């Protein structure tokens, strides 16, 4: 299966990533494609979140059949087995020696073996098709997801990330990378803004790699902007510094 997965490139659309991540979760990629998806999961928090969602879907499936591609030449092998079974038997010799019960059983097994193999292949194919059809149905029925781009400015110009809202859930998932380390008494604080009134939200501290994934409570649809400032560790009721990270909540990405 030949696919093109461009990580962090112009061709790396969300649809392409979704398809590749789904195939990755199902174990249907070759080694080169798996390495490409694994690089995407390392570099892209949104892709990691999507992979987590897909793993949850897979874990709830009623079928426990390993997904398989239809074996190459399956139809040809079934037809060949059928023709072999229906072929006329060679003429019997004038005088047949006595045949033991064991020999008769062996002959019967040999005659039925092609059909048994064909039936096993057909059952494996049917199970695979049913499993994949149910997985596709479950994925199509998943809640609608809205994704908003997050970017830094000024001292946080290298910061990038996403804000993901799934269906009607109250909380959104904020994924950020490129965050600078802060003094031990300081933290980043999220603000949700409707009009000119910033509403204080969570505070967080990034890990040593400068990344952070946090849950942002609140109905995101009620606000037009998400902003992040640097505040005391316990947070502030009103911003004490200028915002350095923003997300336009009126524009999905």
**Is 120 among the domain residues?**
no
Query: What is the overall mean pLDDT for the chain?
Result: 76
Domain count for the chain, please give it.
2
Last residue of a domain, one of 41, 60, 79: 60
Which residue range(s) make up the domain with 45? 14-60
Alpha-helix residue ranges (DSSP H) falling in 195-240: none
**Is 133 among the domain residues?**
no
pLDDT for res 247 = 96
CATH code at 237?
2.60.40
Give strand ranges (E) for the chain. 145-152, 160-166, 172-177, 186-194, 197-204, 212-216, 225-232, 245-248
31-43 confidence digits (pLDDT tens): 888 888 888 888 8
**Is 140 among the domain residues?**
no
pLDDT for res 137 = 60
**Is 241 among the domain residues?**
yes
**Is 185 among the domain residues?**
yes
CA torsion sign for 51, 54, 59, 63 is: negative
41-99 confidence digits (pLDDT tens): 888 988 888 888 877 676 555 444 454 555 666 556 656 765 665 555 566 556 555 55
**Is 67 among the domain residues?**
no
**Is 216 among the domain residues?**
yes
pLDDT for res 197 = 85
The HSE-up count of residue 176 (CA atoms within 13 Å, CB side) is 32
Whether the full predicted model's pTM is greater than 0.85, yes or no, is: no
What are the residues facing 148 on neighbouring strands? 163
**Is 71 among the domain residues?**
no
pLDDT tens across the length of the chain (253 residues)? 444 444 444 344 445 677 888 888 777 888 888 888 888 888 898 888 888 887 767 655 544 445 455 566 655 665 676 566 555 556 655 655 555 555 555 555 455 455 555 555 555 555 555 655 666 665 555 567 899 999 999 989 999 999 999 876 667 999 999 999 999 999 999 999 998 889 999 999 999 999 999 999 988 989 999 999 999 999 999 999 999 999 999 998 8
């Amino acid at each position: 299966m030949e696919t093109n997965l461009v990580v962090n490139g112009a061709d790396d659309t969300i649809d392409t990533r979704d398809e590749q991540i789904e195939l990755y979760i199902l174990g249907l990629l070759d080694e080169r494609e798996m390495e490409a998806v694994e690089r995407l999961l390392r570099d892209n928090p949104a892709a990691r979140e999507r992979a987590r969602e897909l793993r949850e879907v897979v874990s709830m499936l009623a079928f426990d059949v390993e997904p398989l591609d239809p074996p190459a030449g399956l139809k040809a092998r079934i037809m060949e087995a059928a023709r072999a079974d229906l072929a006329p038997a060679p003429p019997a010799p004038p005088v047949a020696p006595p045949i033991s019960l064991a020999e008769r059983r062996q002959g019967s097994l040999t005659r039925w073996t092609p059909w048994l193999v064909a039936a096993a292949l057909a059952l494996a194919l049917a199970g695979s098709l049913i499993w994949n059809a149910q997985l596709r149905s479950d994925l199509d029925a998943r809640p609608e997801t809205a994704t908003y781009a997050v970017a830094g400015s000024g001292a946080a110009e290298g910061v990038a990330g996403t804000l993901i809202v799934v269906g009607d859930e109250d909380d959104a998932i904020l994924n950020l990378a490129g965050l600078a380390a802060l003094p031990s008494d300081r933290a980043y604080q999220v603000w949700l803004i409707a009009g000119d009134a910033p509403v204080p939200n969570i505070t967080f501290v990034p890990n040593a790699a400068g990344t952070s994934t946090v849950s942002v409570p609140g109905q995101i649809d009620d606000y037009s902007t998400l902003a992040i400032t640097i505040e005391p560790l316990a947070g502030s009721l009103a911003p004490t510094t200028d915002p350095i990270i923003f997300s336009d909540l009126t524009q999905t990405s």
